[in-house]
Structure 1
Amino acid sequence: MTRRHLSLGADYALRLIRIFTDLFGDMDLALVFIAAAQAGTEHLREHDDYIDMLSGEFFPDELRRPVTVSALARSLGIPVETTRRHVVKLASTGYALRTESGGVIVTSEILRRDEIRQAGLLNLEAMERLIDGVRRTPRNR
């Protein structure tokens, strides 16, 4: 991997963090939201035909799986209690739902919120910039 690829990846990661930190006002809260949203459909991406499972722009909610607070904490490397506080805040502001079993889920309805859609569009721009940068990088450098 070239230094250019590392730099492009770092630029993209920083843009993504900034987009969602601006939205949520707190980087850790933003990371917990992103991790919860991803975790709910992670099992679907293991299937070769996962794109076919999409109905519209998002996976149907009945295919989503809740994630535990402890699993989110482990995935992010932050304390469980800190993660729990962020999950409580996400749930109280409507950015996540708590299940009866204590799990966390980000539904397609939540992902359709205007501010989440706007963040998604900004992320798409950042991702296109990353892809364009990788494509323009000479193979032997």
Structure 2
Amino acid sequence: MADAAALSARPVPRTPERVRSVRIAVAVVLAVGVVIGAVLLCWPRRTVVEVINQPPEVRYADGDNSHVAVLVHVRAPIAALQLSAGGTSSLDHYEVVLGSDPSGGYGHLVRVDATGMDPGRLTVVWTVEGAWLNYQHGHRLFVPAKSFVGGR
């Protein structure tokens, strides 16, 4: 019994193979940590800025009056570093999602990259043919109703 206690109290010898395997394990853990950190920094977060409802007087072929235009801010945490000089990039931009989902998770997506534009001043004019997206500087974009009606 005393021999077993003496054996377990001995330190593990530091052989070159053991040192190498510990270094490899530490390197793998660090590499995985860097990859996870990079993914978390670049993974975009979507925030609903505004929901613009279809007016009741406009009706589409599907008979559903619950169509919406959802203004969504898409921003990755790494965008705070402002790595791009233009101000808008794949890491920080706005999207307008037209459809029937007020969360903006599903529908016809229009990316808004107008530099210097205040996205909060975007207006939507609903017509039976579709929806007009009006930007503050006079630019307009038409989205046909067939693009967002019927569950699209």
Instruction: Name the TM-score, length of structure 2 as normaliser.
Output: 0.22
- Larger Rg over CA atoms: 2
For normalisation by structure 1, the TM-score amounts to: 0.23
Larger relative contact order (Cα-Cα within 8 Å, sequence gap ≥ 6):
1
